[in-house]
Amino acid sequence: MMKQFAIGAFIIIAIVQWFVPGKMIWDKEAVLRKGKIFNFRTEPVDPSHPFKGRYIALSFKENAFTTTSPDSGLFNYGDAYVLLEKDGDGFAKIKNVVKQKPLAAPDYVQASISYIDRKKDTAVIHLQYPFDEFYMDEFKAPKAETVYRESTRDSTQKTYAIVSILNGDAVIKDVMINDQSIRQAIRKMDSRE
Amino acid sequence: MSKSFVKELHELVGANIITQVTAQEIADYYKHREKDRPNRFSAVVNILGALLVSLGIVLVVAHNWDELGRTAKTFFAFLPLAIGQGLCLYVLLKKKNNIAWREPAGVILFFAVASSISLISQTYHISGTISDFLLTWMLLTIPLVYILPSSIVALLYIAGITWYACATKYFNYPDDAVPFYYLLLLALVIPHYYSYLTHKKESNFFHLLNWLLVLSVTIVLGSFSGGQDRTEWVFTGYLALFSVFYLLGRLESFSNQKLFANPFLIVGTLGTICILMFWSFDWSWTDAYRYSDIDRPSIYFSPFLYVTISILIVAAWLVLSGYRTTKTIIFDPTGFSGFVLLVLLLAFRSLPHIAVLFINLWILFLAVFFIHKGALQDHLGILNFGLFIIATLAVLRFFDDEIPFIWRGFFFLITGAGFFAANYMMVKKRKAIVKK
């Protein structure tokens, strides 16, 4: 009886152990397949996570929003919804930041408010996106930073992240340097060496 | 059974100390006992092997295999999980009572869950803090402690939740988050601990559980203090915790164990002495007094003060329940140190010199208590510990400019004389016992 109970309980926990990573995959696959693509201008550096390995920490240029009629709810730190649109060059631009989940707006992403700079009639809301880590091969990640630095010497070059967005969730598809994947840029750098 | 033991038995039979029948019975008893006892060596080797292999998998996963596509990465994310679960299921069906299988299988599944979440997080570039990662990992693996059941997973789990609390508070900026979930996570392992306390008190796993729990709670307590909390209450909170540890260590369940198997007593005693030594300095009290009136209007506006009082209530309950069972209060001052510091901070904050005097006298009192206890039990270790406390106090006071040279001089003379007297009395007592 006890053994059967233990096996039953183990099967349940085994299913949960599959469900949690499975749900992660399911949700992110849906965002990649059905999501709308936005390009976010970036500024990468490479730290590491003890389990997930090396990644490029992305700092986005479009990470603050100035509001002239601050929604009082926004003055509480925590989660917020960032409504997005595209600017003239096709890069992501913040249209508005709201505290409640938007029902009508098609393109939005859930982010957290990291800092609010209060002024007399306005407030600058600084945001942290849930897609600021781009994981790479441990040997390539440090090179990615070098490639990025080289690209910033030339002001005509652009670095940005391609992000797929669906129902507030987001997945980074790639990080681009001058319309070329950062992985390709590293390969080119390796072949030059 | 070792060859030398068999030889010894033959010798005893040869010398007519035991009969051949008794020798056979002794040999049978040990043979039977060896059969019942699980193979400890192979269990330890398997556990270490499983730990190393699992950590290796975690590191290989962390390399980030860019060459693999999403499908291949997903396959490799679930592969260790499937292997770990397969092993655990096999253990449940066939090897439930074999520790050499059960514990390593638990270890492999424990780390397989981590590598699975890591690989998927890499594949989809999912951002997240290390605390969120640890929280998910620990919640997904705690059932193994009860289902398999696995003690090594319980130990790894305690280490994991300690890391979670540290990552949430100490390794995080800004450090305003409080790891409240730690309390819930800790509560989840308590039934396992209780089953060891009631049934397997002599087991090595129980000693390891005790050590990890004591260290974990000691490390994490400070993470419950915030910007509103005053340093002195954090110290008092720790002293209260060490008082609780000390009182627990003196309970029958632990006091009968060997000293190394009683972390409550070791950490409780050493922690208490260290904190009291800190408060034996004049500047600790003058700083506490100075900052109390500048920073905050009231000393009571500190949530940690109430955490401290709650821990002291536990200490008081331990003292009272000890009294109820033995019907006498054996006055051991060490466990009361938390109360003493709290009362001094509340009553003598504005009179730092008096508070310093009291704390120094209290430390001396503790030292004398240990010397007296050591002498009564004829235990040189305890007696020397008391002398060590006095010696440390003497060294600290030697450099204390606040005390006039003349007082320091007298203190040293009395302490030195005390050492000679204690040694003389102990030697005399031992000689008297030898003569009898």
| Chain segment B309-353, per-residue pLDDT in tens | 899 999 888 888 776 666 555 578 888 898 999 888 888 877 888
User: Do B321 and B206 belong together in one domain?
Assistant: no
User: Do B256 and B400 belong together in one domain?
Assistant: yes
Cα–Cα distance, B68 to B123 (Å, whole number): 10
| B225 CB-near residues (< 8 Å, 6+ apart) | B233, B234, B237, B304, B307
**B72 in contact with A at a CB cutoff of 8 Å?**
no
**How many Cβ pairs closer than 8 A exist between chain A and B?**
118
Amino acid identity of B360?
A: N
User: Do B282 and B356 belong together in one domain?
Assistant: yes
Classified as helix, coil or strand, B70 is helix
Nearest CA in chain A to B65: A137
Written as six digits, the tokens of B333 are 């001052």
Residue B359 structural domain:
227-436
Query: Cβ contacts (< 8 Å) between B65 and chain A: which residues?
Result: 137
Closest to B42 (Cα-Cα) out of B100, B97, B94: B100
Span B266-293, pLDDT tens digits = 999 999 999 999 998 888 887 766 665 5
Cα–Cα distance, B100 to B247 (Å, whole number): 36
Cα–Cα distance, B341 to B348 (Å, whole number): 10
Report field, pTM of the whole predicted structure over 0.95:
no
Q: How far apart are the first and last CA of chain B?
A: 42
Cα–Cα distance, B369 to B250 (Å, whole number): 15
User: Do B162 and B287 belong together in one domain?
Assistant: no
| Residue of B73, B96, B119, B125 best to disrupt the A interface, most CBs of A under 10 A | B125
Q: What is the pLDDT of residue B261?
A: 86
In a domain, B69, yes or no: no
Amino acid identity of A165?
A: I
Give the residue from B224, B242, B276 where a domain finishes.
B224
User: Hey, are the CB atoms on B64 and A136 less than 8 Å from each other?
Assistant: yes
Torsion-angle region of residue A78: left (phi > 0), alpha (psi -120 to 50) or beta?
left
User: Do B220 and B254 belong together in one domain?
Assistant: no
User: Hey, are the CB atoms on B89 and A10 less than 8 Å from each other?
Assistant: yes
User: Do B200 and B301 belong together in one domain?
Assistant: no
Query: Cβ contacts (< 8 Å) between A18 and chain B: which residues?
Result: 78, 81
User: Do B165 and B260 belong together in one domain?
Assistant: no
The 3-class secondary structure across B328-390, one letter per residue, is: CCCCCHHHHHHHHHHHHHHHCCCCHHHHHHHHHHHHHHHHHHHHHHHHHHCCHHHHHHHHHHH
> B414 or B241, which is more confident?
B241
**Contact predicate A80/A112, CB 8 Å:** yes
**B188 in contact with A at a CB cutoff of 8 Å?**
no
> A33 or B411, which is more confident?
A33
Query: Cβ contacts (< 8 Å) between B115 and chain A: which residues?
Result: 51
Among B81-85, B226-230, B422-426, whose mean pLDDT is lowest?
B226-230
In a domain, B411, yes or no: yes
Query: 């520790």: which residue's tokens?
Result: B99
User: Do B210 and B281 belong together in one domain?
Assistant: no
In a domain, B80, yes or no: no
pLDDT-derived band at B152 (thresholds 50, 70, 90) equals very high
User: Do B241 and B186 belong together in one domain?
Assistant: no
The pLDDT of residue B67 is above 80: no
Q: What is the pLDDT of residue B297?
A: 47
The pLDDT of residue B58 is above 70: yes
Helices (H), chain A: 2-34, 140-153, 182-192
pLDDT tens-digit profile, chain A (193 residues): 678 888 889 999 999 999 999 999 999 888 888 888 888 877 666 677 777 788 888 888 888 888 876 655 666 778 889 999 988 888 899 998 888 888 877 789 999 888 888 777 788 888 989 888 888 888 888 887 777 667 666 666 778 899 999 989 999 998 888 788 888 888 877 777 6
User: Hey, are the CB atoms on B120 and A24 less than 8 Å from each other?
Assistant: yes
Interface of B with A in 51-70 (CB under 8 A): 58, 61-67
pLDDT-derived band at B422 (thresholds 50, 70, 90) equals confident
User: Do B408 and B282 belong together in one domain?
Assistant: yes
